[in-house]
Structure 1
Amino acid sequence: MAVSDSKLRALLGKKHSDKYPRRLADRGGLSILHRGSGVLSFEFRYRFAGKQNAVTLGTYTNNDAGIKLAEARRKAEQCQAWLDDGRNPATMLKLAKNERLKPVTVRDALGYWINNYAKENRRNIDRHIMQLEKWVYPRIGELPLADCETRHWLEVFDAYRKTAPVAAGYCFQLCKQALKYCRVRRYATSNALDDLTVVDVGKKQGKRDRILNMDELRDVLRWSGEITTNRYYGNLACLLLAFGARSQEVRLSQLREWDLDACTWTVPTAHSKTSTKIIRPIPDRVKPFIKELMTHAKVNKSIYLLGELKRPEAVSQAGRQIWKRLQHKEPWTWHDLRRSLATHLNEAGVAPHVVELILGHTLPGVMAHYVHTSRLPEQKAALELWQNILNDQEEQNNVVNLRG
């Protein structure tokens, strides 16, 4: 017959003179030992590897100093589950105790994922680390992962969402992946994020379709060369317009990537979103501008074409503000310049696969397996055509064309 709380309360503190503790059987292998001193303790008895074993689960005190009957039964059920899984409850309880004494914190778990997975497999990992250091670690970084509940995580993402809802969604996704990685590798266990989705904590990035018309693109080109324009962002805009590259590729671009003799720009795999090397030809009209940037970078003893390395957040934020300065009717970002180049080149009759190579995309379908060439002459012809499209109208209006 199962033991009741009232019976335990009646026995608590009641002494007896028996040499050995009196045993009261409960259920599921759980027993209560009534010691001569009046102390009551919970014990789980089991057989493992052919031997009889017993582990103490805690002491009954009828207050918060001990454990209650219901908690002892839950622990006994966990011990039985370990047994069913072929694991020794005594060993598992010892491991659990060690984890409580020196628990894995949220910072430890995310750091484990970063060091063992993300640094080799995730792009922009430095940016992700900065997100964690700004939003996650100050709030819950030192909490034991096992004690960090869903509500604690939501407090982090709710604060982040007010500032940057899309970035909050990305941060949530990487945290969720990190916790799963730790769980699969048995480093630490947490299911606090399992039932949440991006829309619960932030906002999904919508599919953009903003295409700048030629007047708007020429506005950007004109702005990039104005004296009052910040030189870093003016030069960045000029390069993005010229090559249709990703802002990351230009931001990280180093002098060694540029070969003015061969007239090529080689984006290394480390800077490529697709983890593939990208080779682009340098249009003749752009070559003097590249040479000027390289000269300035060398004078300033910088390895970067733009003379310095700015944080991606700063670059993105700057790009989101330019449309207002130019009084354009609709917002646009750096990436929209890339989409605009692709659209206008397609409209000008450039073959789609050549545009894809310029953009640094992986070719689709069968071409991905059989076309292993950069087709530089075709790319250069397309980019020279693009320079003519960008500059011809400006030349007619006596406005300075692409710098150089």
Structure 2
Amino acid sequence: MIYETTLRSYNGKPQTEAFTLTDGKGLGVRVSVLGKLRFQFRYKINGQNKRIDLGDYPDLSLRQARDAMEECRTWLAQGHDPKLKRSMTRQESLLPVTVEQALEYWLKEYAEENRVNVDKNRAQFAKHIYPYIGNYSLVDTETRHWIECFDRIRRGVPSLKQRPAPVAAGYVLQSAKQALRFCRVRRYAITHALDDLIGTDVGKKQNKKDRVLSDIELTDLLTLLEGRKVSFYMRQLCKLLIVFGARTQELRLSQFDEWDLDRGIWTVPKSHSKTNTLITRPIPERIKPLIEFLYRRHGQTGYLLGELKSAETVSGSGRKICSWLKHQESWTLHDLRRSFATKLNDLGVAPYVVEQLLGHALGGVMAIYNRSQYLPEKKAALDMWVERLDLLTDKPDNVSILKRTA
């Protein structure tokens, strides 16, 4: 066995010849004629002698050399060549994958093709994660580093005018966990810092909502949309959300090539659908003039609403509209979709037709064998719904509340 005093006695002292001191388990110290000491680990693979230089004394202490030797023995027992394994580990340490690189790897290699809300994921990472731990080496991050980020989301940052958002904290956690698992499975970078965390550890789950706007509240909203207080973009978005019961992202991302006015069909591509399925909706006759008007106004942009706004911007504008109306209970743009579904059911529209209009997959055996789009039934339902909306605002048949507004 080698002792620290022995190493100090040889260190820097010229020798008549080079020799090796042994410490056991394959660990040794090579002493050069110049008195330079180098730790080495010797082992065999398939009967062949091999050797690794672990480092020079005193830069590497005896205790550290023994730890490195044990690591090499573990790799050997697992069937790895310690020399190759150590080289790979050193390379990872010298060029570590950062937190930002890991999350961006998931966004580019997975989320951009499989998640329609990828822009929201990227914006949340850029706002809540990258400025604080984005340049940290991923393998060196600890759970506490991530929790500090989630706590800022949950509590809010008044100095940055960020409101408390406990539900968003849980959402960012779930996205980050999926991203790091993706990196781990692909061996791009490995960490288990988030494995033990769940949404309620950093925030709270989104409550199941049942907010449905009353007829009076819908009338208030439609009347507001006739004026100029609301921006042109949000006026058209809200009207189309009310008519079609679509998800906000389906209209926010909508492009003119999705709208076939000759056939009277709006086709939402898989890439814009939350469930990665094609959604077809008939276009009510009373809505066609609005789509034609939008094309004349925005045709050169390609986007139905003239530009591509972020999900956060649209959501914030929706909250502002709600606050202007001063309804007793607040609502969100997504509640327009729930109101659409509820009121169509109240009008006697068959549930499976409502589900098709919402873009939901049919359940049970119907999901396997029934490929019908129910276009006649959906058209009848939407025509009846638009007529109902006009009646809410006491408009005659030839004057629709859903007419264009410049």
Question: Do the structures match in fold with TM over 0.5?
Answer: yes
Query: In the TM superposition, what whole-angstrom CA distance separates every residue of 1:70-96 from its partner, at most 9, and x where no partner exists?
Result: 433332222122112211111111122
Match of 2:306 in 1: 307
Match of 1:13 in 2: 11
Query: In the TM superposition, what whole-angstrom CA distance separates every residue of 1:219-241 from its partner, at most 9, and x where no partner exists?
Result: 11111112222111111111011
> 1:281–1:380: 8 Å Cα contact kept in structure 2?
yes
Q: Indicate the SS of the match to 1:320.
A: helix
> 1:238–1:402: 8 Å Cα contact kept in structure 2?
no
The answer to whether the aligner puts 1:83 opposite 2:79 as a matched pair is no
> 2:212–2:336: 8 Å Cα contact kept in structure 1?
yes
> 1:11–1:38: 8 Å Cα contact kept in structure 2?
no
Give ranges in structure 1 of 5+ residues lacking alignment. none
> 2:390–2:400: 8 Å Cα contact kept in structure 1?
yes
Q: Indicate the SS of the match to 1:285.
A: helix
TM-fit CA distance, 1:140: 2.6
TM-fit CA distance, 1:280: 0.7
Aligned-partner Cα distance in 1 for 2:111–2:325:
39
Segment drifting more, 163-172 vs 277-286? 163-172
The answer to whether the aligner puts 1:272 opposite 2:273 as a matched pair is yes
Aligned-partner Cα distance in 2 for 1:70–1:160:
43
The answer to whether the aligner puts 1:158 opposite 2:190 as a matched pair is no
Segment drifting more, 10-19 vs 313-322? 10-19
TM-fit CA distance, 1:335: 0.8
TM-fit CA distance, 1:35: 5.2
Match of 2:254 in 1: 253
TM-fit CA distance, 1:9: 6.8
Query: In the TM superposition, what whole-angstrom CA distance separates every residue of 1:123-151 from its partner, at most 9, and x where no partner exists?
Result: 22233223333333333333322333333
Match of 1:382 in 2: 381
Match of 2:23 in 1: 25
Of residues 44, 58, 80, the one that matches 2:55 is: 58
Segment drifting more, 69-78 vs 253-262? 69-78
Summarize the Cα distance change of 1:36–1:24 in structure 2 as closer, same or farther, 3 Å threshold: farther
TM-fit CA distance, 1:366: 0.7
> 2:215–2:392: 8 Å Cα contact kept in structure 1?
no
Aligned-partner Cα distance in 1 for 2:7–2:291:
85
Aligned-partner Cα distance in 2 for 1:244–1:8:
81
Match of 1:179 in 2: 180
Segment drifting more, 102-111 vs 42-51? 102-111
> 2:21–2:29: 8 Å Cα contact kept in structure 1?
yes
> 2:72–2:82: 8 Å Cα contact kept in structure 1?
yes
Alignment of 1:95-244 (within 5 A): 95-161=88-154, 162=156, 163=162, 164-244=165-245
Give ranges in structure 2 of 5+ residues lacking alignment. 157-161
Segment drifting more, 138-147 vs 279-288? 138-147
Segment drifting more, 12-21 vs 68-77? 12-21
Aligned-partner Cα distance in 1 for 2:224–2:61:
72
> 2:237–2:305: 8 Å Cα contact kept in structure 1?
yes
Q: Indicate the SS of the match to 1:53.
A: strand
Aligned-partner Cα distance in 2 for 1:33–1:251:
69
Amino acid of the residue matched to residue 293 of structure 2?
Answer: E
Give the number of aligned pairs. Answer: 394
TM-fit CA distance, 1:33: 4.4
Alpha-carbon RMSD: 2.5
Q: Indicate the SS of the match to 1:56.
A: strand
TM-score normalised according to structure 2 size: 0.88
TM-fit CA distance, 1:279: 1.0
Aligned-partner Cα distance in 1 for 2:329–2:62:
65
Summarize the Cα distance change of 1:16–1:349 in structure 2 as closer, same or farther, 3 Å threshold: same
Query: In the TM superposition, what whole-angstrom CA distance separates every residue of 1:183-206 from its partner, at most 9, and x where no partner exists?
Result: 222222222222222233343322
